[in-house]
Structure 1
Amino acid sequence: MPARRVSLPALDRRRFLAASGSTALVALAGGLAGTRAVRAQTLSTGAAEMIVVSDGHLVLPMGFAYPEAPADDLAALLAENAMPADALLPDCNVTLARIGDRLVIFDVGAGANFMPTAGKLADGLAAAGIDPADVTDVVFTHAHPDHLWGLTDDFDELVFANAQYRIGRAEWDFWSAPDALSKVPADRQTFVIGAQNRFAAIEDRVIFIDDGQEVLPGIEAVATPGHTPGHLSFMIQGAEPVLIVGDAISNAVISFARPDWPSGSDQDATLGARTRLALLDRLAGDRARAIGFHFPHPGAGHVERKDGGYRYVPV
């Protein structure tokens, strides 16, 4: 799929849940930790073998996720799809691709310090029989905690010690800018600090990438901004191509049925909605498969048009 320009941010879990207006969810998040089984699943593009592993899941208060959605319409959509009314519990799907002699991982999960229900990537990799030392390339969609903070372990050592690291130039520049703290809400400033600390660990081996660039053989960067200023998705080519969506489309129900609704997790909600709508339209037209980081595990599916909106159809 050719790149189409149409072009998020994040806290430690106590501040995140408190700032989201639901401190009771601290206990909920702790209580839900470890309740989902470690899983891994594979699919193929014909040229690449894809392995999707779980990093656990998040607990997002509904007031944070969709603060501006019409209350009655949101409640009806949640009820129709048997979803909880108070919080979203999105899976975190980390995708790897074997292409020739390379083993590529897209994003690295949340690590141990973001939310107790996430940060399970080590277990997911072990379940899939993958040694982190064998990963040759780490490619980031964006620098939010649940995608970046798993970069280092408890000893501040790189988890993927033998890899090269690739990230969008615009994404790196945004989070590493001297005035980055002033560009995000106060309740997300730890996102900036966390990103800068982890960027420091890879600054001597990072490779910057841009929209439309062939990142690695058979992998093309697609600009999908709005969630964060430099958010990228990645098309893995083959007979049956797959788009690694990242968080450009974040919910397998709400983002499809009402892509126009602003998302509280998007830094630029207007641009995020415009990107989301254009991406859904293109995926539906092309019948390309997509893997969403926060879709129900393993996250791979098609997009279909339905009732003036869209719907997610799992593979």
Structure 2
Amino acid sequence: MTAVVSLLHTGYVGDTVASTVAFVRDGDRLIVTDPGMVRDRSLILGPLRALGVEPGDVTDVVFSHHHPDHTLNAALFPAARFHDHWAIYHGDVWEDRDAEGYELSPSVRLIRTPGHTPQDITTLATTADGVVAFTHLWNTATSVGDAYATDLDALHAGRERVIALAALIVPGHGPAFTPDASTPR
């Protein structure tokens, strides 16, 4: 089984900021990554509905980290389980678990990738075209560093790890890109 990936909203960073929000379908798992700040919530919900998915159908939401620009619209998905670096939250249940290697579904897993924050994680989705990584190790495809990083050494090590795994990278605030020799490490 392989996952199917759709970008719901391509983020940006500058005078204004919005997160890149994605949707992953893997069997009965309907996953949204980083439903954070966007100009209008319809920019998330419209593309989701165009895929035939209502907000209440979403089973899981993954936060790459806890900054509001990546989490602000989480409440749009009332039935979802929420995943971060150390737990799963659902209703009033807090289930401790380490994100490293955690499998959300047969084709989707989480790995720890600190750097931007100590708690950053990356979502890896195995698709028919290879592994897609949803990560905040890059703001955009050309981000050499990260002015807000808490640990640049960890960020660069995480980039090397993700580049070795991913055929496509979806950064925190920009369009997806295919890593190559010019990708900042």
TM-score tier, shorter chain, comes to 0.7 to 0.9
Go from structure 1 to structure 2 and tell me whether the alpha carbon gap of 1:210 and 1:254 turns closer, same or farther (over 3 Å shift). Answer: closer
More strand by share: 2
1:163 and 2:80 are equivalent in the alignment: yes
Go from structure 1 to structure 2 and tell me whether the alpha carbon gap of 1:107 and 1:164 turns closer, same or farther (over 3 Å shift). Answer: same
Cα distance, 1:303 vs. partner? 0.8
1:233 and 2:122 are equivalent in the alignment: yes
Q: State the 4+ residue runs in structure 1 displaced beyond 4 angstroms.
A: none
Measured against aligned partners, the alpha-carbon deviations of 1:88-129 in whole angstroms (never above 9, x if no partner) come to: x6663211111112211112212xxxxxxx343433321442
Q: How many Å separate the matches in 2 of 1:239 and 1:127? A: 22
Consecutive unaligned residues of structure 2, counting only runs of 5 or more, are: none
Cα distance, 1:254 vs. partner? 3.1
Matched letter for residue 290 of structure 1: I
TM-score (norm 2): 0.80
Cα distance, 1:219 vs. partner? 0.9
More helix by share: 1
Name 2:23's counterpart in structure 1.
96
Q: How many Å separate the matches in 1 of 2:11 and 2:99? A: 30
Measured against aligned partners, the alpha-carbon deviations of 1:29-51 in whole angstroms (never above 9, x if no partner) come to: xxxxxxxxxxxxxxxxx722212
Name 2:66's counterpart in structure 1.
143
Name 1:125's counterpart in structure 2.
45
Q: How many Å separate the matches in 1 of 2:10 and 2:41? A: 4
1:134 and 2:57 are equivalent in the alignment: yes
Cα distance, 1:230 vs. partner? 1.7
What secondary structure is seen at the aligned counterpart in 2 of 1:124?
A: helix
Q: How many Å separate the matches in 1 of 2:17 and 2:44? A: 16
Q: Is the 8 A contact 2:6 2:23 kept in 1?
A: yes
Consecutive unaligned residues of structure 1, counting only runs of 5 or more, are: 1-45, 61-88, 111-117, 152-157, 173-198, 256-260
Cα distance, 1:220 vs. partner? 1.5
Pairing of 1:20-99 with structure 2 (within 5 A): 47-54=2-9, 57-59=12-14, 92-99=19-26
Matched letter for residue 61 of structure 2: V
What secondary structure is seen at the aligned counterpart in 2 of 1:247?
A: coil
Q: Is the 8 A contact 1:165 1:206 kept in 2?
A: no
1:279 and 2:167 are equivalent in the alignment: no
Go from structure 1 to structure 2 and tell me whether the alpha carbon gap of 1:291 and 1:206 turns closer, same or farther (over 3 Å shift). Answer: farther
Size of the aligned set, in residue pairs, is 180
Cα distance, 1:206 vs. partner? 4.2
1:267 and 2:184 are equivalent in the alignment: no
- Identity, % of aligned positions: 25
Cα distance, 1:292 vs. partner? 1.7
Pairing of 1:289-300 with structure 2 (within 5 A): 289-295=168-174, 299-300=175-176
What secondary structure is seen at the aligned counterpart in 1 of 2:20?
A: strand
Q: How many Å separate the matches in 2 of 1:229 and 1:218? A: 25
Q: Is the 8 A contact 1:56 1:121 kept in 2?
A: no
Measured against aligned partners, the alpha-carbon deviations of 1:206-241 in whole angstroms (never above 9, x if no partner) come to: 444421221322111122111111211121124323
Q: How many Å separate the matches in 1 of 2:141 and 2:17? A: 9
Q: How many Å separate the matches in 1 of 2:130 and 2:107? A: 10
What secondary structure is seen at the aligned counterpart in 2 of 1:52?
A: strand
Measured against aligned partners, the alpha-carbon deviations of 1:218-268 in whole angstroms (never above 9, x if no partner) come to: 11112211111121112112432333332112221233xxxxx4x212122
Name 1:184's counterpart in structure 2.
none
TM-score (norm 1): 0.50
